[in-house]
Amino acid sequence: MIAAQRSRSPARRADLHAAGIRFLGIYQYLVSGQNGASQAQAFHRLVGPIQQGKVFVADFEEGDKPMLTDWYNEMHTLYGPGITDYLWTYTGVDFGEERDGLPVQWIADYDAPEPDTSHVLWQFTDAYDVPGVGITDCNQYDGTMAQLATHGW
């Protein structure tokens, strides 16, 4: 089971772990014009400590690179230097390329084929029809579940 979670509910995360989730991306949409460090502090208050199988994702779709850098630096202060591999960036392929080669683990690009920009996950649509769920984003990972799970804490 793989999930990206907008809700930062501890009970919901506990339910996902009890159900056997192996990888969980918890993301925060970074808001242009707001201090990146302050946004990281608010995220930390909401989600608490990182657990097995999780990554924290900066959803970077607006603003400038210093805001993202401030977010990362504050996350290191809050969680310690061991958090580095578990801090991801999600952004659109064009936006990421405009930001000086920003490393992006999760990239959105709705044009086929899969972009050759370095990434772990590729969001290829925001209009995938999932029976029983409805229309949603959809992502592709080129590997096994066991391999993806190695990316989490």
Could you tell me the pTM of the whole model? 0.85
**Residue written as tokens 């242009």?**
32
- Per-domain boundaries in the chain: 2-104+145-149
* Angle of the 65-79 helix axis to the 36-47 helix axis, nearest 10: 40
Q: Across the strands, what pairs with 87?
A: 56
Report the alpha-carbon distance of residue 121 to residue 32 in Å, rounded. Answer: 24
d(CA 83, CA 76): 6
Domain 2-104+145-149: give its CATH superfamily: Glycosidases (3.20.20.80)
pLDDT one digit per residue (tens) for the chain, 153 residues: 344 444 456 788 788 888 888 888 998 999 999 999 999 999 999 999 888 888 999 999 999 989 999 999 999 999 998 998 899 999 998 876 666 666 789 999 998 899 988 899 999 999 999 999 899 999 999 999 889 988 887
* Contacts with 73 (C-beta within 8 Å, 6 or more apart), sequence order: 36, 37
